[in-house]
Structure 1
Protein backbone atom coordinates (compact mmCIF):
# COMPACT_ATOMS: atom_id res chain seq x y z
CA UNK A 1 0.00 0.00 0.00
CA UNK A 2 1.31 3.42 -0.94
CA UNK A 3 1.82 6.36 1.37
CA UNK A 4 -0.77 8.31 -0.63
CA UNK A 5 -4.01 6.79 -1.87
CA UNK A 6 -4.76 9.52 -4.43
CA UNK A 7 -3.00 12.35 -6.19
CA UNK A 8 -4.93 14.86 -4.10
CA UNK A 9 -3.50 13.26 -0.96
CA UNK A 10 -0.06 14.27 -2.17
CA UNK A 11 -1.12 17.79 -3.09
CA UNK A 12 -2.78 18.45 0.26
CA UNK A 13 -0.30 16.53 2.42
CA UNK A 14 2.03 18.15 4.91
CA UNK A 15 5.18 16.23 4.20
CA UNK A 16 7.23 17.82 6.97
CA UNK A 17 4.58 17.05 9.58
CA UNK A 18 4.40 13.43 8.42
CA UNK A 19 8.17 13.06 8.57
CA UNK A 20 8.43 14.69 11.99
CA UNK A 21 6.03 12.07 13.37
CA UNK A 22 7.62 9.12 11.56
CA UNK A 23 9.72 6.58 13.43
CA UNK A 24 11.89 6.04 10.33
CA UNK A 25 11.83 9.35 8.42
CA UNK A 26 14.56 8.28 5.97
CA UNK A 27 12.55 5.25 4.90
CA UNK A 28 9.29 7.21 4.75
CA UNK A 29 10.71 10.03 2.61
CA UNK A 30 12.18 7.46 0.23
CA UNK A 31 8.77 5.84 -0.20
CA UNK A 32 7.13 9.26 -0.60
CA UNK A 33 9.52 10.28 -3.36
CA UNK A 34 9.05 6.97 -5.14
CA UNK A 35 5.27 7.33 -5.09
CA UNK A 36 5.45 10.98 -6.13
CA UNK A 37 7.63 10.11 -9.11
CA UNK A 38 5.29 7.30 -10.14
CA UNK A 39 2.25 9.57 -9.75
CA UNK A 40 3.97 12.31 -11.76
CA UNK A 41 4.59 9.89 -14.63
CA UNK A 42 0.92 8.84 -14.58
CA UNK A 43 -0.26 12.43 -14.35
CA UNK A 44 1.85 13.52 -17.31
CA UNK A 45 0.54 10.59 -19.33
CA UNK A 46 -3.07 11.53 -18.49
CA UNK A 47 -2.37 15.15 -19.35
CA UNK A 48 -0.86 14.14 -22.68
CA UNK A 49 -3.97 12.10 -23.51
CA UNK A 50 -6.21 15.01 -22.51
CA UNK A 51 -4.20 17.41 -24.65
CA UNK A 52 -4.50 15.02 -27.61
CA UNK A 53 -8.28 14.89 -27.04
CA UNK A 54 -8.43 18.69 -26.91
CA UNK A 55 -6.52 18.92 -30.18
CA UNK A 56 -8.91 16.47 -31.82
CA UNK A 57 -11.97 18.39 -30.61
CA UNK A 58 -10.41 21.66 -31.76
CA UNK A 59 -9.93 20.20 -35.24
CA UNK A 60 -13.54 19.02 -35.26
CA UNK A 61 -14.72 22.47 -34.19
CA UNK A 62 -12.63 24.09 -36.90
CA UNK A 63 -14.05 21.76 -39.53
CA UNK A 64 -17.65 22.53 -38.46
CA UNK A 65 -16.97 26.26 -38.54
CA UNK A 66 -15.55 25.92 -42.03
CA UNK A 67 -18.61 23.95 -43.22
CA UNK A 68 -20.96 26.50 -41.69
CA UNK A 69 -19.08 29.23 -43.53
CA UNK A 70 -19.41 27.40 -46.84
CA UNK A 71 -23.19 27.02 -46.39
CA UNK A 72 -23.40 30.71 -45.67
CA UNK A 73 -21.63 31.41 -48.94
CA UNK A 74 -24.05 29.12 -50.75
CA UNK A 75 -27.00 30.95 -49.25
CA UNK A 76 -25.58 34.24 -50.54
CA UNK A 77 -25.05 32.70 -53.97
CA UNK A 78 -28.64 31.44 -54.05
CA UNK A 79 -29.92 34.91 -53.15
CA UNK A 80 -27.78 36.42 -55.90
CA UNK A 81 -29.32 33.97 -58.36
CA UNK A 82 -32.83 34.65 -57.15
CA UNK A 83 -33.21 31.23 -55.57
CA UNK A 84 -34.54 32.11 -52.17
CA UNK A 85 -35.74 28.54 -51.68
CA UNK A 86 -32.19 27.25 -52.01
CA UNK A 87 -30.96 30.10 -49.83
CA UNK A 88 -33.36 29.03 -47.06
CA UNK A 89 -32.19 25.41 -47.25
CA UNK A 90 -28.56 26.51 -47.14
CA UNK A 91 -29.21 28.70 -44.11
CA UNK A 92 -31.01 25.82 -42.35
CA UNK A 93 -28.00 23.57 -42.97
CA UNK A 94 -25.73 26.35 -41.77
CA UNK A 95 -27.76 26.71 -38.57
CA UNK A 96 -27.62 22.98 -37.82
CA UNK A 97 -23.88 22.91 -38.32
CA UNK A 98 -23.39 25.97 -36.10
CA UNK A 99 -25.47 24.30 -33.40
CA UNK A 100 -23.22 21.26 -33.52
CA UNK A 101 -20.19 23.54 -33.51
CA UNK A 102 -21.49 25.22 -30.34
CA UNK A 103 -21.75 21.84 -28.62
CA UNK A 104 -18.24 20.92 -29.72
CA UNK A 105 -16.97 24.32 -28.55
CA UNK A 106 -18.41 23.56 -25.10
CA UNK A 107 -16.65 20.19 -25.10
CA UNK A 108 -13.42 21.87 -26.18
CA UNK A 109 -13.65 24.44 -23.39
CA UNK A 110 -14.20 21.68 -20.83
CA UNK A 111 -11.27 19.62 -22.09
CA UNK A 112 -9.01 22.66 -22.26
CA UNK A 113 -9.98 23.37 -18.66
CA UNK A 114 -8.88 19.85 -17.77
CA UNK A 115 -5.59 20.41 -19.55
CA UNK A 116 -5.02 23.65 -17.62
CA UNK A 117 -5.86 21.95 -14.32
CA UNK A 118 -3.63 19.06 -15.24
CA UNK A 119 -0.74 21.41 -15.95
CA UNK A 120 -1.28 23.09 -12.58
CA UNK A 121 -1.33 19.71 -10.86
CA UNK A 122 1.91 18.71 -12.55
CA UNK A 123 3.57 21.96 -11.47
CA UNK A 124 2.34 21.51 -7.90
CA UNK A 125 3.48 17.91 -7.74
CA UNK A 126 6.88 18.81 -9.16
CA UNK A 127 7.25 21.45 -6.44
CA UNK A 128 6.29 18.87 -3.82
CA UNK A 129 8.81 16.46 -5.28
CA UNK A 130 11.59 19.06 -5.21
CA UNK A 131 10.71 19.85 -1.59
CA UNK A 132 10.70 16.16 -0.68
CA UNK A 133 14.09 15.57 -2.31
CA UNK A 134 15.51 18.58 -0.48
CA UNK A 135 14.19 17.18 2.79
CA UNK A 136 15.72 13.82 1.88
CA UNK A 137 19.12 15.47 1.37
CA UNK A 138 18.76 17.17 4.75
CA UNK A 139 17.88 13.89 6.44
CA UNK A 140 20.76 12.15 4.70
CA UNK A 141 23.20 14.84 5.83
CA UNK A 142 21.92 14.55 9.41
CA UNK A 143 22.24 10.77 9.23
CA UNK A 144 25.80 11.00 7.95
CA UNK A 145 26.74 13.49 10.66
CA UNK A 146 25.18 11.29 13.34
CA UNK A 147 26.94 8.22 11.95
CA UNK A 148 30.23 10.11 11.85
CA UNK A 149 29.86 11.24 15.45
CA UNK A 150 29.01 7.71 16.55
CA UNK A 151 31.99 6.29 14.70
CA UNK A 152 34.23 8.96 16.19
CA UNK A 153 33.03 8.14 19.71
CA UNK A 154 33.62 4.45 19.06
CA UNK A 155 37.12 5.17 17.75
CA UNK A 156 37.92 7.31 20.79
CA UNK A 157 36.56 4.58 23.04
CA UNK A 158 38.70 1.99 21.31
CA UNK A 159 41.77 4.21 21.57
CA UNK A 160 41.12 4.81 25.25
CA UNK A 161 40.64 1.10 25.89
CA UNK A 162 43.76 0.20 23.97
CA UNK A 163 45.78 2.85 25.81
CA UNK A 164 44.52 1.62 29.17
CA UNK A 165 45.36 -1.97 28.23
CA UNK A 166 48.83 -0.94 27.09
CA UNK A 167 49.50 0.91 30.35
CA UNK A 168 48.28 -2.11 32.34
CA UNK A 169 50.57 -4.45 30.38
CA UNK A 170 53.54 -2.12 30.97
CA UNK A 171 52.77 -2.02 34.68
CA UNK A 172 52.43 -5.81 34.80
CA UNK A 173 55.75 -6.27 32.96
CA UNK A 174 57.44 -3.86 35.35
CA UNK A 175 56.14 -5.84 38.35
CA UNK A 176 57.36 -9.11 36.80
CA UNK A 177 60.82 -7.62 36.23
CA UNK A 178 60.96 -6.40 39.82
CA UNK A 179 59.93 -9.86 41.08
CA UNK A 180 62.58 -11.52 38.91
CA UNK A 181 65.25 -9.09 40.07
CA UNK A 182 64.28 -9.74 43.71
CA UNK A 183 64.48 -13.50 43.16
CA UNK A 184 67.93 -13.23 41.56
CA UNK A 185 69.14 -10.98 44.36
CA UNK A 186 68.01 -13.55 46.96
CA UNK A 187 69.79 -16.39 45.18
CA UNK A 188 73.06 -14.49 44.98
CA UNK A 189 72.89 -13.58 48.65
CA UNK A 190 72.30 -17.18 49.73
CA UNK A 191 75.44 -18.27 47.90
CA UNK A 192 77.81 -15.69 49.48
CA UNK A 193 79.58 -16.68 52.81
CA UNK A 194 78.32 -14.81 55.78
CA UNK A 195 80.72 -11.99 56.63
CA UNK A 196 79.30 -11.13 60.05
CA UNK A 197 79.50 -14.63 61.70
CA UNK A 198 81.08 -14.75 65.18
CA UNK A 199 84.27 -16.65 65.98
CA UNK A 200 82.31 -19.27 67.96
CA UNK A 201 80.04 -19.86 65.04
CA UNK A 202 82.98 -20.49 62.76
CA UNK A 203 84.46 -23.04 65.22
CA UNK A 204 81.10 -24.76 65.47
CA UNK A 205 81.08 -25.17 61.69
CA UNK A 206 84.57 -26.65 61.85
CA UNK A 207 83.38 -29.19 64.44
CA UNK A 208 80.43 -30.03 62.28
CA UNK A 209 82.75 -30.53 59.35
CA UNK A 210 84.79 -32.99 61.46
CA UNK A 211 81.66 -34.95 62.32
CA UNK A 212 80.84 -35.16 58.64
CA UNK A 213 84.33 -36.35 57.79
CA UNK A 214 84.23 -39.07 60.48
CA UNK A 215 80.84 -40.30 59.26
CA UNK A 216 82.13 -40.37 55.73
CA UNK A 217 85.24 -42.38 56.81
CA UNK A 218 83.03 -44.87 58.67
CA UNK A 219 80.89 -45.46 55.62
CA UNK A 220 83.92 -45.92 53.39
CA UNK A 221 85.56 -48.40 55.84
CA UNK A 222 82.36 -50.40 56.01
CA UNK A 223 82.20 -50.55 52.28
CA UNK A 224 85.80 -51.75 52.05
CA UNK A 225 85.40 -54.38 54.84
Structure 2
Protein backbone atom coordinates (compact mmCIF):
# COMPACT_ATOMS: atom_id res chain seq x y z
CA UNK A 1 0.00 0.00 0.00
CA UNK A 2 2.82 2.38 0.88
CA UNK A 3 4.58 1.59 -2.38
CA UNK A 4 1.42 2.21 -4.36
CA UNK A 5 0.89 5.50 -2.53
CA UNK A 6 4.42 6.64 -3.38
CA UNK A 7 3.92 5.53 -6.97
CA UNK A 8 0.72 7.59 -7.08
CA UNK A 9 2.54 10.66 -5.80
CA UNK A 10 5.34 10.12 -8.31
CA UNK A 11 2.82 9.96 -11.16
CA UNK A 12 0.90 12.99 -9.89
CA UNK A 13 3.99 15.14 -9.46
CA UNK A 14 5.47 14.03 -12.77
CA UNK A 15 2.28 15.09 -14.57
CA UNK A 16 2.08 18.45 -12.80
CA UNK A 17 1.63 21.44 -15.10
CA UNK A 18 4.28 23.80 -13.81
CA UNK A 19 3.30 26.74 -16.01
CA UNK A 20 -0.33 26.60 -14.85
CA UNK A 21 0.78 26.41 -11.24
CA UNK A 22 3.08 29.39 -11.72
CA UNK A 23 0.31 31.44 -13.29
CA UNK A 24 -1.93 30.91 -10.26
CA UNK A 25 0.78 31.45 -7.65
CA UNK A 26 0.98 34.68 -5.67
CA UNK A 27 4.74 34.34 -5.30
CA UNK A 28 6.05 32.06 -8.10
CA UNK A 29 9.61 32.01 -6.79
CA UNK A 30 8.59 30.88 -3.31
CA UNK A 31 6.24 28.33 -4.81
CA UNK A 32 9.04 26.95 -7.01
CA UNK A 33 11.42 26.78 -4.05
CA UNK A 34 8.82 24.81 -2.12
CA UNK A 35 8.11 22.56 -5.10
CA UNK A 36 11.81 21.84 -5.53
CA UNK A 37 12.03 20.88 -1.86
CA UNK A 38 8.91 18.70 -2.15
CA UNK A 39 10.21 17.02 -5.29
CA UNK A 40 13.60 16.41 -3.69
CA UNK A 41 11.99 14.86 -0.59
CA UNK A 42 9.59 12.74 -2.64
CA UNK A 43 12.36 11.63 -4.98
CA UNK A 44 14.44 10.48 -2.02
CA UNK A 45 11.41 8.65 -0.58
CA UNK A 46 10.57 7.15 -3.96
CA UNK A 47 14.15 6.01 -4.48
CA UNK A 48 14.03 4.22 -1.14
CA UNK A 49 10.73 2.57 -2.06
CA UNK A 50 11.98 1.58 -5.51
CA UNK A 51 15.18 0.17 -4.03
CA UNK A 52 13.14 -1.84 -1.51
CA UNK A 53 10.79 -3.08 -4.23
CA UNK A 54 13.73 -4.09 -6.41
CA UNK A 55 15.28 -5.85 -3.42
CA UNK A 56 12.05 -7.75 -2.77
CA UNK A 57 11.84 -8.68 -6.45
CA UNK A 58 15.40 -9.97 -6.48
CA UNK A 59 14.67 -12.01 -3.36
CA UNK A 60 11.57 -13.56 -4.96
CA UNK A 61 13.55 -14.22 -8.13
CA UNK A 62 16.27 -15.92 -6.11
CA UNK A 63 13.65 -18.07 -4.35
CA UNK A 64 12.14 -18.87 -7.73
CA UNK A 65 15.52 -19.86 -9.12
CA UNK A 66 16.18 -22.00 -6.04
CA UNK A 67 12.78 -23.69 -6.40
CA UNK A 68 13.47 -24.39 -10.07
CA UNK A 69 16.89 -25.76 -9.22
CA UNK A 70 15.45 -27.80 -6.34
CA UNK A 71 12.81 -29.20 -8.68
CA UNK A 72 15.52 -30.28 -11.11
CA UNK A 73 17.65 -31.73 -8.30
CA UNK A 74 14.74 -33.72 -6.83
CA UNK A 75 13.90 -34.95 -10.32
CA UNK A 76 17.44 -36.23 -10.74
CA UNK A 77 17.30 -37.89 -7.30
CA UNK A 78 13.98 -39.50 -8.15
CA UNK A 79 15.45 -40.77 -11.41
CA UNK A 80 18.54 -42.12 -9.61
CA UNK A 81 16.47 -43.83 -6.89
CA UNK A 82 14.12 -45.34 -9.44
CA UNK A 83 17.09 -46.68 -11.43
CA UNK A 84 18.62 -48.19 -8.33
CA UNK A 85 15.32 -49.81 -7.44
CA UNK A 86 15.19 -51.35 -10.93
CA UNK A 87 18.69 -52.76 -10.46
CA UNK A 88 17.79 -54.37 -7.11
CA UNK A 89 14.55 -55.75 -8.54
CA UNK A 90 16.41 -57.17 -11.50
CA UNK A 91 18.76 -58.96 -9.11
CA UNK A 92 15.83 -60.28 -7.09
CA UNK A 93 16.37 -57.96 -4.10
CA UNK A 94 12.78 -56.90 -3.70
CA UNK A 95 13.27 -55.28 -0.31
CA UNK A 96 15.93 -52.83 -1.53
CA UNK A 97 14.02 -52.32 -4.74
CA UNK A 98 10.92 -51.26 -2.75
CA UNK A 99 13.13 -49.08 -0.53
CA UNK A 100 14.57 -47.17 -3.46
CA UNK A 101 11.19 -46.88 -5.13
CA UNK A 102 9.93 -45.28 -1.93
CA UNK A 103 12.87 -42.87 -2.04
CA UNK A 104 12.07 -42.09 -5.66
CA UNK A 105 8.49 -41.31 -4.65
CA UNK A 106 9.69 -38.95 -1.89
CA UNK A 107 12.01 -37.23 -4.38
CA UNK A 108 9.15 -36.91 -6.88
CA UNK A 109 6.95 -35.43 -4.14
CA UNK A 110 9.66 -32.88 -3.26
CA UNK A 111 10.09 -32.14 -6.98
CA UNK A 112 6.39 -31.48 -7.35
CA UNK A 113 6.43 -29.23 -4.25
CA UNK A 114 9.33 -27.18 -5.63
CA UNK A 115 7.62 -26.93 -9.00
CA UNK A 116 4.43 -25.73 -7.30
CA UNK A 117 6.27 -23.10 -5.28
CA UNK A 118 8.10 -21.87 -8.39
CA UNK A 119 4.87 -21.73 -10.38
CA UNK A 120 3.02 -19.83 -7.63
CA UNK A 121 5.85 -17.27 -7.52
CA UNK A 122 5.65 -16.50 -11.23
CA UNK A 123 2.60 -14.13 -11.07
CA UNK A 124 4.13 -12.30 -8.13
CA UNK A 125 7.42 -11.93 -9.95
CA UNK A 126 5.66 -10.64 -13.06
CA UNK A 127 3.64 -8.16 -11.00
CA UNK A 128 6.68 -6.96 -9.07
CA UNK A 129 8.66 -6.52 -12.28
CA UNK A 130 5.87 -4.39 -13.72
CA UNK A 131 5.69 -2.29 -10.56
CA UNK A 132 9.45 -1.81 -10.55
CA UNK A 133 9.43 -0.67 -14.17
CA UNK A 134 6.59 1.76 -13.48
CA UNK A 135 8.35 3.09 -10.41
CA UNK A 136 11.58 3.51 -12.35
CA UNK A 137 9.74 5.33 -15.15
CA UNK A 138 7.91 7.54 -12.66
CA UNK A 139 11.12 8.23 -10.80
CA UNK A 140 12.92 9.20 -14.00
CA UNK A 141 10.02 11.47 -14.97
CA UNK A 142 10.07 13.01 -11.52
CA UNK A 143 13.80 13.68 -11.71
CA UNK A 144 13.29 15.26 -15.13
CA UNK A 145 10.47 17.38 -13.72
CA UNK A 146 12.66 18.44 -10.82
CA UNK A 147 15.34 19.51 -13.28
CA UNK A 148 12.69 21.51 -15.13
CA UNK A 149 11.60 23.07 -11.85
CA UNK A 150 15.14 24.05 -10.94
CA UNK A 151 15.66 25.56 -14.38
CA UNK A 152 12.39 27.47 -14.10
CA UNK A 153 13.30 28.72 -10.66
CA UNK A 154 16.77 29.81 -11.73
CA UNK A 155 15.31 31.55 -14.78
CA UNK A 156 12.70 33.28 -12.63
CA UNK A 157 15.27 34.39 -10.08
CA UNK A 158 17.52 35.74 -12.86
CA UNK A 159 14.58 37.58 -14.43
CA UNK A 160 13.53 38.99 -11.06
CA UNK A 161 17.06 40.24 -10.39
CA UNK A 162 17.25 41.74 -13.87
CA UNK A 163 13.89 43.47 -13.40
CA UNK A 164 15.03 44.77 -10.03
CA UNK A 165 18.27 46.09 -11.53
CA UNK A 166 16.36 47.77 -14.37
CA UNK A 167 13.99 49.33 -11.85
CA UNK A 168 16.94 50.64 -9.83
CA UNK A 169 18.46 52.13 -12.97
CA UNK A 170 15.15 53.76 -13.89
CA UNK A 171 14.78 55.17 -10.39
CA UNK A 172 18.33 56.49 -10.58
CA UNK A 173 17.59 58.09 -13.95
CA UNK A 174 14.47 59.69 -12.51
CA UNK A 175 16.48 61.02 -9.59
CA UNK A 176 19.07 62.42 -11.98
CA UNK A 177 16.35 64.07 -14.06
CA UNK A 178 14.77 65.53 -10.94
CA UNK A 179 18.10 66.83 -9.62
CA UNK A 180 19.74 67.46 -12.96
CA UNK A 181 22.76 69.71 -12.39
CA UNK A 182 22.46 71.04 -15.93
CA UNK A 183 19.08 72.46 -15.04
CA UNK A 184 20.75 74.49 -12.28
CA UNK A 185 23.32 75.72 -14.78
CA UNK A 186 20.52 76.63 -17.15
CA UNK A 187 18.78 78.64 -14.46
CA UNK A 188 22.06 80.39 -13.58
CA UNK A 189 22.68 81.10 -17.25
CA UNK A 190 19.18 82.52 -17.57
CA UNK A 191 19.86 84.76 -14.59
CA UNK A 192 23.07 86.02 -16.20
CA UNK A 193 21.28 86.66 -19.46
CA UNK A 194 18.67 88.72 -17.67
CA UNK A 195 21.42 90.70 -15.93
CA UNK A 196 23.20 91.23 -19.22
CA UNK A 197 19.95 92.37 -20.79
CA UNK A 198 19.40 94.80 -17.91
CA UNK A 199 22.91 96.21 -18.38
CA UNK A 200 22.33 96.59 -22.11
CA UNK A 201 19.04 98.32 -21.41
CA UNK A 202 20.66 100.71 -18.95
CA UNK A 203 23.46 101.41 -21.40
CA UNK A 204 20.98 102.04 -24.17
CA UNK A 205 19.00 104.32 -21.91
CA UNK A 206 22.16 106.20 -20.90
CA UNK A 207 23.18 106.49 -24.51
CA UNK A 208 19.78 107.91 -25.44
CA UNK A 209 20.01 110.50 -22.66
CA UNK A 210 23.52 111.56 -23.78
CA UNK A 211 22.41 111.90 -27.37
CA UNK A 212 19.55 114.11 -26.21
CA UNK A 213 22.01 116.34 -24.36
CA UNK A 214 24.22 116.66 -27.39
CA UNK A 215 21.19 117.39 -29.51
CA UNK A 216 20.17 120.21 -27.14
CA UNK A 217 23.68 121.59 -27.36
CA UNK A 218 23.51 121.54 -31.13
CA UNK A 219 20.15 123.36 -30.99
CA UNK A 220 21.64 125.99 -28.68
CA UNK A 221 24.63 126.56 -30.98
CA UNK A 222 22.32 126.92 -33.93
CA UNK A 223 20.22 129.52 -32.07
CA UNK A 224 23.34 131.43 -31.13
CA UNK A 225 24.50 131.49 -34.72
CA UNK A 226 21.07 132.74 -35.80
CA UNK A 227 21.24 135.59 -33.28
CA UNK A 228 24.74 136.50 -34.43
CA UNK A 229 23.76 136.58 -38.06
CA UNK A 230 20.73 138.69 -37.27
CA UNK A 231 22.90 141.17 -35.44
CA UNK A 232 25.24 141.33 -38.38
CA UNK A 233 22.37 142.15 -40.69
CA UNK A 234 21.30 145.04 -38.56
CA UNK A 235 24.77 146.52 -38.72
CA UNK A 236 26.49 148.72 -36.25
CA UNK A 237 23.34 150.63 -35.54
CA UNK A 238 21.78 147.86 -33.87
CA UNK A 239 24.86 147.31 -31.88
CA UNK A 240 24.42 148.58 -28.37
CA UNK A 241 26.37 151.70 -27.50
CA UNK A 242 29.09 151.34 -25.04
CA UNK A 243 29.92 154.41 -22.94
CA UNK A 244 33.48 154.73 -21.82
CA UNK A 245 34.96 156.97 -19.17
CA UNK A 246 37.11 158.86 -21.73
CA UNK A 247 34.05 160.15 -23.55
CA UNK A 248 32.75 161.73 -20.49
TM bucket normalised to smaller: 0.5 to 0.7
Q: Which residue is 1:174 aligned to?
A: 183
Is 1:39 aligned to residue 36 of structure 2?
A: no
Q: Gaps (5+ residues) in structure 1?
A: 199-225
Is 1:93 aligned to residue 119 of structure 2?
A: no
How much does 1:129 deviate? 0.6
Residues 34, 143 of structure 1: alpha-carbon distance in 2 compared, 3 angstrom cutoff: same
Is 1:165 aligned to residue 161 of structure 2?
A: no
How much does 1:123 deviate? 1.2
Max Rg structure: 2
1:11–1:125: 8 Å Cα contact kept in structure 2?
Answer: yes
2:7–2:138: 8 Å Cα contact kept in structure 1?
Answer: yes
Is 1:68 aligned to residue 78 of structure 2?
A: yes
How much does 1:160 deviate? 0.9
1:76–1:87: 8 Å Cα contact kept in structure 2?
Answer: yes
Q: Write the distance in 1 (CA, Å) between the matches of 2:99 and 2:173.
A: 109
Q: Write the distance in 2 (CA, Å) between the matches of 1:177 and 1:76.
A: 128
The TM-score with structure 2 as length reference comes to 0.62
Q: Write the distance in 1 (CA, Å) between the matches of 2:141 and 2:15.
A: 13
Q: How many residue pairs were aligned? A: 192
Q: Which residue is 2:38 aligned to?
A: 28
CA RMSD of aligned residues (A): 3.4
The structure 1 segments of at least 4 consecutive aligned residues displaced by more than 4 Å after TM superposition are: 17-23, 183-186, 192-196
Q: Which residue is 1:102 aligned to?
A: 112
Q: Which residue is 1:49 aligned to?
A: 59
How much does 1:83 deviate? 3.3
Q: Write the distance in 1 (CA, Å) between the matches of 2:135 and 2:15.
A: 17
Q: Gaps (5+ residues) in structure 2?
A: 26-30, 210-248
1:71–1:93: 8 Å Cα contact kept in structure 2?
Answer: yes
Q: Secondary structure at the match of 2:113?
A: helix
User: Of the candidates 110, 115, 126, which is equivalent to residue 125 of structure 2?
Assistant: 115
Q: Secondary structure at the match of 2:92?
A: coil
Q: Write the distance in 2 (CA, Å) between the matches of 1:77 and 1:109.
A: 34
How much does 1:105 deviate? 1.7
Q: Which residue is 1:137 aligned to?
A: 147
The TM-score with structure 1 as length reference comes to 0.67
How much does 1:26 deviate? 2.4
User: Of the candidates 62, 78, 87, which is equivalent to residue 77 of structure 1?
Assistant: 87
